[in-house]
Amino acid sequence: MRKINDLLKSRDLPGTQIKMANRGGEIVMMLPGGRRQVVHIRREDHRYILASRVITRGRVKSFSSREIAEKIWDRNRYSDVVEFCIDEGGELVGRIEQVADTLDPEEFFFFLRRLAQECDRFEYLLTGKDEM
């Protein structure tokens, strides 16, 4: 995680208008238009896992099982980088897994941006607002 913490010393996401605030393993991504997305980073064995909540467990339960499964399947069909799933807490999240040893800064910032943007878009499609 030291490698990640060194990269997160920046307050801006390079090449974008996205601002970042690092809160120790949790990065608040401030997107243009005032929208925000929180990205959690952890290391498991030889890989980093980046995850961000799309909607809460309560919101997930407002859809039928079939309806939420179809929405997740459809979104995953069009996403090359982010995987959407229901996590162990029942929340709908976006995730990216990357081998830790080969992660370089450009790739890391690309993953952060894509995860925040795609989770924010999916959240908006499902709720019509920013629920951060």
Instruction: Please determine, for residue 21, whether its predicted confidence score (pLDDT) is greater than 80.
Output: yes
Per-residue confidence (pLDDT) for residue 33, from 0 to 100:
85
Q: Which residues pair with 116 in a beta bridge?
A: none
Give me the mean pLDDT over the 68-75 stretch: 96
User: Mind listing the domains of the chain with CATH numbers?
Assistant: 2-127 (3.30.1460.10)
Per-residue confidence (pLDDT) for residue 120, from 0 to 100:
93
What DSSP character marks residue 125?
Answer: H
Give me the mean pLDDT over the 30-54 stretch: 92
Q: What percent of the chain has pLDDT over 90?
A: 57
Instruction: Please determine, for residue 56, whether its predicted confidence score (pLDDT) is greater than 90.
Output: yes
As a whole number of Å, the end-to-end CA separation of the chain is 25
Instruction: Please determine, for residue 87, whether its predicted confidence score (pLDDT) is greater than 70.
Output: yes
